Chain A
Amino acid sequence: MSKPKVAFFDFTSCEGCQLNKLNFENDLLDMLELVDIVEFREAMDDKADHYDIAFIEGSISTPTCVERIYDIRRRSDILVALGSCAVSGGINAMKNLHPADEVRETVYGKDKYLFPSMPVQPVSAVVKVDFEVRGCPMSAPEYLQIFKSLVLGRKPEVKDYAVCVECKLKENECVLDKGMFCLGPITRAGCEAICPSFGQYCTGCRGVVSNINEKGAVDMLKQHGFSVKEAVNRMKLFCTNELESLNKWGA
């Protein structure tokens, strides 16, 4: 059996997720035994025509991004969105909070209509995304697990429960009980609650679970002296695009 052809592409992002891949120092060589990396601009010169698995990092934020992602999708059997920027628009989507015309004018001044500009979108807004690896940055162990599943031809496990679950398993003291704000109750797990484990609050970088327990989350925040308004403001950091679909939270 020939090895799967794997490629990595970067769109609008910090390229930190790609870098995270080079950070599997202990597993990198083993991974390379299993696949052929045929395109990875940040690390190599080669280019290829067809990919068994294409990993996409970054958001769609210019017309050129749209053209590129169509082209890659056409040539890929499986397409995986890597990290929050690709999955939801992530932190880039904060720019969408400002009126497009205002942003364009600040950027281009009197030439604002010369250059096409567009709101930041997730990859899935433009082409079909087969699998997602969430997080900012993506969690390296989770990526490794999904990578292995795909190489073995299995469907990767997708976690769709709150960060609170993993935080409890880590036996952390509840962040809200410590008097800090936290988005753990509505944010998707898969990060092993790494931020609460290091004394920080959950910033919601992995996006929201598919069926939020809204009443429970709102009650929980209120009990600890935090308002929905504050939660919405905090969610603008990583979840701007997701907020649009959360009517009550956006209210």
Chain B
Amino acid sequence: MGRDLNIDVHHLTRVEGHGNIVVDMKNGVLKKAQLDIVEAPRFFEAMLKGRNFHEAAIITSRICGICSLGHQIASLKATEAALGLEITEQTVMLRKLLVHGATFQSNILHALFLAAPDFLKVGSVFTLINTHKDVVLAALRLKRLANDVGDVISGRAIHPISIVPGGFTAFPSEKSIEELKNKFINQGIPDVEYILDVLISLAGEIPVFERETEYISVYDEKEYGLYDGQICSSDKGLYPVDDYLKVTNEFVVPHSSSKHAKFNRSSYMVGALARFNNSYDLLSPMAKKAAEAISLKAPNYNPYMNTVAQVVEVVHCLEDSIRLFDILLDKGIKKEKPNQEPTRYGKGIATTEVPRGILFHEYTYNKQGNITTANCIIPTGQNLANIDDDMKKLVPELMNESKEDITLKLEMLVRAYDPCISCSVHMLDVDFIE
């Protein structure tokens, strides 16, 4: 006689957005194991229609507060591709610094504030303030440092201001860049080293589970793929960005107001672990050492290790930012006027990595510089099929554990993907069931 098991976690906590975990097992046979997405759809593609190219990034930034910088970067790059706007080397460098800041801010937020309470068996980071105050303070300082990058370079970390098509409308002083660099060296690096030590001591709390899948990320042969590059599938190799629809193949499932995606298999994974697996060789020297210290080797097939890969990326972002600060200070910061004179009007496609994985924006502009069609493909949507596949393998492996433990491990699994549900339901054409 097999086991009956019924799990229904309504509005999972400590994730961005609204999702439910549903497991239904009868007589030892798994009927259902899935993440239901019940977020209200937001219709961003409809909102973009008819809006001017100056406004596209302002609007798409509002898809998600946590990923606002990433949406702006993808949006600006798509607009620039569509309108033939060239950007300068300095613009690229400033944007890369913003991407580093946004990536390590989000990774720290997830690893320490949302995921760590599970490793320490408490309900929230607020409890940790009493029991692990030093860790919380180090995490807060790192978060503050990331926000400082956003404040100094783009005016604001959430919904940045001065980052526009063709360049920037305001520039940081060399003094403020120098100050940031010193903070990175004197405070950022020691803090992340401390957090890494804590994480190493908690490594035993990370569930052991493996499911090899397809890993998809941005790949740049010159550097760890974040800001720009080609599409990389661990199964099938490299694809140009223009092929993004061939890779993502979005499809609708009835239990999710966010679409699912698949490429070579029934599902694929995006995010820190996918980037780590595909671009390990390009990590900074300190990040490689950090990975070694915490026994994370590429390729790694345990989705729970996504959180660990995030912390390794924090090290990379800090170290590579210091390198970029040095180049900027060496060359001096020029007050360049943003290039906003379109040389053509048409279709533009762009990709970038946001903390949760690979992101695509595509726009078509008419001769007035207004959007006629828009499409955005979001990391969390791409991960949903993979999460369901993980659950289908994981639940039968946990059959000897209590319902509470199974529920906790499923919650931890979903959290490990750091899902961003607001982002994932931006789409216009969705089935919304609640």
- A residues lining the B interface (CB < 8 Å): 11-20, 22-23, 25-26, 28-29, 32, 37, 40-46, 61-62, 64-65, 90-92, 94-95, 98, 103, 106-108, 111, 115, 136-137, 194-195, 197-200, 203, 237
1/0 per residue B100-135: CB within 8 Å of A? 000000000100011000000001111001000000
In the complex, the answer to whether A23 meets B155 with C-beta atoms within 8 Å is no
Given A13-B422, A115-B432, A197-B155, A22 and B129 contact (CB-CB distance below 8 Å): no
Instruction: For A25, give its contact among B47, B141, B154 (CB under 8 Å).
Output: B141
In the complex, the 9 A-B pairs of residues with the closest C-beta atoms, listed nearest first: A16-B65, A199-B169, A44-B124, A198-B155, A45-B123, A25-B144, A199-B170, A94-B47, A25-B140
In the complex, besides A16-B64, A23-B143, A94-B59, 4 extra interface pairs with C-beta distance below 8 angstroms are A62-B40, A94-B47, A106-B429, A199-B162
Q: From residue 146 to 169 of chain B, which have CB atoms closer than 8 A to chain A?
A: 147, 154-159, 161-162, 164, 168-169
Cβ of B420 to closest chain A Cβ, rounded Å: 9
Q: Which residues of B contact A136 (CB under 8 A)?
A: 62, 159
Check A15 against B422 for contact (C-beta < 8 Å): yes
Assuming the contacts A23-B143, A65-B40, asked whether A107 and B430 have C-beta atoms less than 8 A apart, the reply is yes
Residues of A within 8 A of B68 (CB): 14, 16
* Contact of B62 with A200 in the complex, beta carbons under 8 Å: no
- Contact size range, B: 35 or more
Q: Which of B62, B64, B155, B169 has the most CB of A within 10 A?
A: B62
Cβ of B129 and Cβ of A45 under 8 Å apart? Answer: no
A37 to B64, CA, bound (A): 24
- Encode contact with A along B49-63: 1 for CB under 8 Å, 0 otherwise: 001000100110011
Which residues on B sit within 8 Å (CB–CB) of A64? 40, 434
CB distance from A32 to the nearest CB of B (A): 7
Return chain A residues, CB-CB under 8 Å to B431.
108, 111
Q: Which residues of B sit under 8 angstroms from A15, Cβ to Cβ?
A: 16-17, 64-66, 422
Contact assessment for A92 and B161 in the assembled complex, using a CB-CB cutoff below 8 Å: no
Q: In the complex, which residues of chain B have a beta carbon less than 8 angstroms from the beta carbon of A46?
A: 123-124
* Residue B41 is within 8 A (CB to CB) of chain A in the complex: yes
Q: How far is the CB of B8 from chain A (nearest CB, A)?
A: 16
Cβ of A48 to closest chain B Cβ, rounded Å:
13
For chain B residues 8-45, which have a beta carbon within 8 Å of chain A? 11, 13-17, 40-43
Q: Closest B-chain residue to A40, C-beta based?
A: B124
Contact between B155 and A14, CB atoms less than 8 A apart: no
How many angstroms between the C-alpha atoms of A19 and B143 in the bound complex? 11
Q: Is the CB of B245 closer than 8 A to any CB of chain A?
A: no
Point out the residues of chain A lying under 8 angstroms from B59, CB to CB.
Answer: 91, 94, 237
Max chain A CB contacts within 10 Å: which of B43, B58, B143? B43
Residues on B with beta carbons closer than 8 Å to the beta carbon of A44: 13-14, 123-126
Minimum distance in angstroms from A238 CB to a CB of chain B: 9
Q: Can you show 24 pairs from A to B with CB atoms below 8 A apart? A: A12-B42, A13-B65, A14-B422, A15-B17, A17-B65, A19-B65, A23-B158, A25-B140, A26-B144, A32-B129, A42-B13, A42-B14, A42-B15, A43-B125, A44-B123, A94-B43, A95-B46, A106-B428, A108-B431, A194-B155, A195-B161, A199-B161, A200-B164, A237-B59
| Complex contact A14–B64 (CB within 8 A) | yes
Asked whether, in the complex, the Cβ of A19 is within 8 Å of the Cβ of B158, the reply is yes
